[in-house]
Amino acid sequence: MERRIFLSPPHMSEEGYEQKYVKDAFDTNWITSLGENINKFEESLKEYVGSKNALAVASGTAAIHLAFKTLGVKKDDIVFCSTLTFAATINPAVYENATPVFIDSERETWNMDPKALEKAFEKYPNPKVVILVHLYGTPAKIDEIKQICEKHNVPLVEDAAESLGSTYKGKQTGTFGKYGIYSFNGNKIITTSGGGMLVSDDKAGIEKAKFLSTQAKEPVRHYEHKELGYNYRMSNIIAGLGRGQLEVLDKRIEQKTKIYNAYKEGLKDIEEIEIQEEPENTKPNHWLTVITLKEGSKVTPIQLIEALEAENIESRPVWKPMHEQPIFKKYDFIKVEDKAVSEDLFERGVCLPCDTRMTEEEMNEIIKIIRKLFE
């Protein structure tokens, strides 16, 4: 390839929306954690997803941490977490010296297995919170998981960092639980370079999170602090990027879906390759297209990754499960199948490049490289 094809790089709008809003921040001198861009970004995002309240913060991780703080997560509390995810889902629980318990995946969506979750409740009947991940933009089995959480009277937090714009039964991911979080990191479907959003129908909870995100300053003339706060608020400049990116979110979902369909069509006759189907009642945003190689395939995931890398094309393994990470191995892991589904997916999975700026010729070339490995 003449140019480097990245896995999922930033893609600024061709219309220049982001530059316009960032320029407005400079022109009005509102460059800190106050300003019209922040207000409008929060307003537009909550309207898009259908939540009553939204809080723009420095990262998706910060949003998770604030959700946990408002829910009272503290030392030695049990937090049920999806194991097949990025460490950012888990770290905020550890920040509070809580105890993660990892829940295995199921094979249809690759997300938290409701059966494993029920098994976890049998062993740990009083967790403080359940945090569910919508992996690679595919919605989890939300109805089943939410019903389990409600039965046990435990709040659900949705890590929708990868699934902004994905829907389950027509409703946006991130809006089913007590809190939902989104990430605008540089590799996400839309980006503010770094940033996140916390959403909830609970106005008091979002107001508490906002208070904590601005160093927990009491509403008095002098600086007064009665509890620990954080410097987690998004800046008005960054929010300008978000406003511009949100205007092209539907276009990016359309482009990601086109990439998914191209891979699905171009690789459909290779028996060793399986591509995840769209689960019933869902509309994924297809942030990343991920394939698995069947047991006994003559091509291994690393061989496929290296073949693409030789042509200046980035691809990646599937997330390494959290229960297998050295820092988290001391925590419990709950599974249903003899071999963990998450471990199996990690061993056989490859995330294919999903750059929304790819041309049709580049897309065809990637498919050609993959196909050649199986000749």
| Mean pLDDT, each 10-residue run in order, the chain (375 residues) | 92 96 95 93 98 98 98 98 98 98 98 98 98 98 98 98 98 98 97 97 98 96 95 97 98 98 97 94 98 96 98 98 98 97 98 97 97 96
Domain range 17-246, CATH class = alpha beta
State residue 33's pLDDT score: 86
The CATH code belonging to domain 249-373 is: 3.90.1150.10
Q: Which stretches does DSSP call E strand in 140-228?
A: 156-159, 167-168, 171-172, 179-183, 196-200
Long-range contacts of the stretch 121-125 (C-beta < 8 A, 24+): 121/148, 121/152, 123/332, 123/334, 124/78, 124/80, 125/152
Residue of 204, 84, 61, 196 lying closest to 135 (CA atoms): 84
pTM score above 0.95: yes
Cβ atoms within 10 Å, residue 112: 33
**Any alpha helices (H) in 269-358, and if so which ranges?**
301-309, 341-348
The residue extents of the domains of the chain are 17-246, 249-373
Treating both helix axes as pointing N-terminal to C-terminal, what angle do 142-151 and 114-123 enclose, rounded to 10 degrees? 20
Considering only CA atoms, which of 339, 366, 341 is closest in space to residue 353?
366
How far apart are alpha carbons 210 and 314 in whole angstroms?
Answer: 38
Q: How far apart are CA 140 and CA 18, in angstroms?
A: 32
